[in-house]
């Protein structure tokens, strides 16, 4: 990624009215920490590949390991984190355990992110 100079105001200025309005809309600090952890899960390429794989189908750990080309142990480790963040869920069927995206919101976030990247790639 190319380093860009960030434009800033030519002189210090504060709009108290806007600041108060925005501050009222800010969620509690704990919610912001949870949001940062949520998006941090998407920042790891292995976890992103797992989520994208599960976007396509319900998969067992062995299938996920094959798709993302890492060990079953490594997949299990990542799935533990993704489950804790409620990004994936699992269901047992006999002795098999199948993972899938937790809900439509996770799918939508993946779809929007991939669409955004695709759009930016076309214009570059």
Written as tens digits, the pLDDT of the chain (124 aa) is 678 788 888 888 889 999 999 999 999 999 999 999 999 999 999 999 999 999 999 999 999 999 999 999 999 999 999 999 999 999 999 999 999 999 999 999 999 999 999 987 776 6
Q: What is the pLDDT of residue 120?
A: 75
- What are the structural domain ranges in the chain? 30-123
CA distances from 37 to 64, 87, 114 (A): 23, 11, 20
pTM given for the model: 0.81
Q: What is the pLDDT of residue 1?
A: 61
Q: What is the pLDDT of residue 124?
A: 61
Handedness of CA 6, 12, 18, 21 (dihedral sign): positive
Among the CATH numbers 3.40.710.10, 1.10.10.10, 3.40.630.40, 1.20.120.1230, which is that of 30-123? 1.10.10.10
């Amino acid at each position: 990624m190319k380093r860009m100079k960030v434009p800033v105001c030519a002189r210090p200025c504060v709009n108290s009215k806007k600041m108060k309005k925005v501050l009222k809309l800010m969620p509690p600090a704990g919610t912001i920490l949870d949001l940062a952890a949520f998006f941090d899960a998407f920042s790891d390429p292995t976890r992103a590949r797992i989520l994208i794989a599960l976007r396509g189908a319900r998969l067992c750990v062995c299938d996920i390991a094959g798709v993302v080309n890492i060990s079953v142990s490594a997949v299990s480790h990542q799935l533990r984190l993704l489950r804790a963040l409620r990004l994936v869920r699992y269901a047992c069927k006999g002795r098999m355990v199948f993972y899938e995206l937790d809900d439509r919101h996770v799918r939508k976030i993946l779809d929007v992110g991939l669409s955004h990247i695709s759009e930016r790639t076309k214009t570059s």
